[in-house]
Amino acid sequence: MKTVRQFSLCILCLILLSGCWDSRQLRDITIAKSAGLDLMEDGLYQSTLSSPVPSKREAPERTEVVSGLGHTVREARMALDNKVSERIDIARLRVIVIGRDLAEESLYNPIDVMYRDPRGSLGAKIAIFNGMAQDIISKDLPDKPRTSEFIADLLETAEENSIVENLNVQLICPIMFDPGQDMVIPLMELNEEDESSLVGNALFNGEKMTGTLSPEDSVLLNLMKNVRGRNTFLTEKVSEENAETEEFITLLVREADRNLKVDVNHAAKSVTAEVNLTMKVKVIEYPKDELHDPANVAMLNERLGRAFTAEAEQIFETLQEANCDALGIGRRVIAFHNQFWRENDWNEVYPDITIKPNVTVEIISHGIIN
């Protein structure tokens, strides 16, 4: 009985005296919400962090932006500790922006520190900036006090519209090291009005950026990757080439089904990929109207199928020029034609393979007017 009481007392003490071994007082840390990483001309890495400054007596919310240089990303981040009074905490990072020069050199080098740090924010969004990442991290935004919130909200909206894929620091890691698939990461820049904007996606071969893709092409690419957000809009020209006036139609994709088939000819050492995409769409805007006539609807279905197929062919040409296997065709070769995979270098084979897209469109709704 005495042993039971002593054991119960020990358990009670453990419960009452237990605490968080890794707890940190808020007054002792600077919380970083967004980070930018750049490669400088002299080969040094530059790390730029933005952290919120607590408002006092209802003063306007402010942010603190600091930058540090180093021979490694870790050293650059350590240099930041000498510029702030508290220790920097990156556990709550919302976004990481990589400068284009660094992305073209290597994407893994700047984010390796995130994987090694137990407090690294693996859920942070990641984007490439067409320029120096420092420019967008340190930019003052009139409508939002925090750059991190603006970029994160911008990327989330683009995900809902199927322009970019839902990716973060953790999710890109397996793709980066997958020999049969390549990354496609959001691309941002400052426009002529000096406003931050999303301009499409950056294409990668392994860990290096090798090309870009426009927002319009990015939507169709994501559909061919079986990636679709809540709202997927497409605008396409449907008038004939010799028509006096151009006609455009805006569609909302209701359903999309992608089928990918890969064949390998071992004797000819050639690979053929067939990408079949079937879309059921709703007409959002078509000024010419006349959608009450089944013949006009059938005509539009046929024209849209041809137009999107031609656009898909251009997209695959861009992907092959960048040596970016965004659809993961190489994964099919690894799984079903492993001998061919082992005997050939996919980086040399992929740019010359044959990719045959075929897009079929079916209009299933055309509004409430007719």
pLDDT tens-place string over residues 187-207: 999 877 777 889 999 999 999
pLDDT tens sequence across 212-251: 999 999 999 999 999 998 889 999 988 777 666 778 889 9
pLDDT tens sequence across 288-319: 767 777 888 898 999 999 999 999 999 999 99
Structure tokens at 112: 């390796």
Amino acid (1-letter code) at residue 196: S
pLDDT confidence of 26, banded at 50, 70, 90? very low
Beta bridge partners of 190: 196
- The contacts of residue 177 (CB under 8 Å, 6+ apart) are none
DSSP class of 350: G
Q: Which residue in 225, 226, 179, 186 sits closest to 203, CA to CA?
A: 186
Check residue 59 and give its pLDDT. 46
Of all residues in the chain, the percent with pLDDT exceeding 70 is 82
Check residue 23 and give its pLDDT. 45
Give this prediction's pTM. Answer: 0.86
**C-alpha span between 185 and 155 (Å, rounded):** 11
The answer to whether the CB of 238 falls within 8 A of the CB of 304 is yes
Scan for tokens 């990442």, then name that residue.
133
N-to-C CA span, the chain: 85
Q: Which residue in 227, 281, 279 sits closest to 252, CA to CA?
A: 281
- The contacts of residue 127 (CB under 8 Å, 6+ apart) are 95, 96, 97, 98, 151, 155, 185, 186, 187, 188
Alpha helices per DSSP H over the chain: 2-17, 73-80, 100-105, 108-116, 133-137, 147-160, 169-176, 215-224, 294-321, 329-336, 338-343, 346-349
Structure tokens at 12: 């009670």
Structure tokens at 120: 């690294």
**C-alpha span between 132 and 328 (Å, rounded):** 30
Check residue 28 and give its pLDDT. 42
For residue 100, the tally of other CB atoms under 10 A from its CB is 21
What angle, 0 to 180 degrees and rounded to 10, lies between the N-to-C axes of helices 294-321 and 215-224? 100
CA distances from 295 to 260, 290, 302, 362, 367 (A): 31, 10, 11, 13, 17
**C-alpha span between 42 and 38 (Å, rounded):** 11
**Would the pLDDT of 342 be above 90?**
yes
**C-alpha span between 298 and 240 (Å, rounded):** 15
From edge to edge, which strands make up the β-sheet containing 248-265?
233-237, 248-265, 270-285, 354-365
pLDDT tens sequence across 56-78: 544 455 677 888 899 988 888 88
Chain center to CA of 77: 24
Structure tokens at 17: 């005296």
Per the model's pLDDT, the better-predicted residue between 297 and 118 turns out to be 297
Structure tokens at 179: 């020999």
Beta bridge partners of 126: 96
